[in-house]
Chains A and B, each alone.
Chain A
Amino acid sequence: DAGITQSPRHKVTETGTPVTLRCHQTENHRYMYWYRQDPGHGLRLIHYSYGVKDTDKGEVSDGYSVSRSKTEDFLLTLESATSSQTSVYFCAIGTSGDYEQYFGPGTRLTVT
């Protein structure tokens, strides 16, 4: 998986609790992305980062925040988890000026 790890790999949490997912890369790639994957919707971009402390919203950013304090780490936080955020979350990395993205193994999140 191109030097990308995600943690945790599985998580079950209750509605209203905060959740943080971590993406860690060893490739020194500038760009990092968070997607969610749901049946019938493909992969939808939540947030992305184009450098340390530089982030921007994707198409489904409501209810999510991100932070990137180091090149290698990109955190996705659900401030108050809802059942609609039950999904599989993927992190991806990419280089500037190149469309190719490398995906991590995913985190399966269940909000009860």
Chain B
Amino acid sequence: QSVLTQPPSASGTPGQRVTISCSGSSSNIGSNYVYWYQQLPGTAPKLLIYRNNQRPSGVPDRFSGSKSGTSASLAISGLRSEDEADYYCAAWDDSLRVFGGGTKLTVL
């Protein structure tokens, strides 16, 4: 059972802006950085956002992260077909249940 709660699914049409939420508590998001991972079908996860809102080199600025209190969100603007993937939030928690349950993003 994940301690970080994400919606199981999200969808949007090309060009739209979509957001994925991640809800936690004071023991994880509330006291630690939030990270976001993108997992394309059949591949390993890829770091998308680190330290709440930082993008690794090579990640388009269409992807942005934010955090407020015990919640975080990932926003994808200018949605593209290649963004169809599973997205996971992560934050350290002493229970070692680090990852959210994941959100499957469908580009309609």
Binding partners A and B:
no
**Chain B residues in contact with chain A, CB under 8 A?**
none
**Chain A residues in contact with chain B, CB under 8 A?**
none
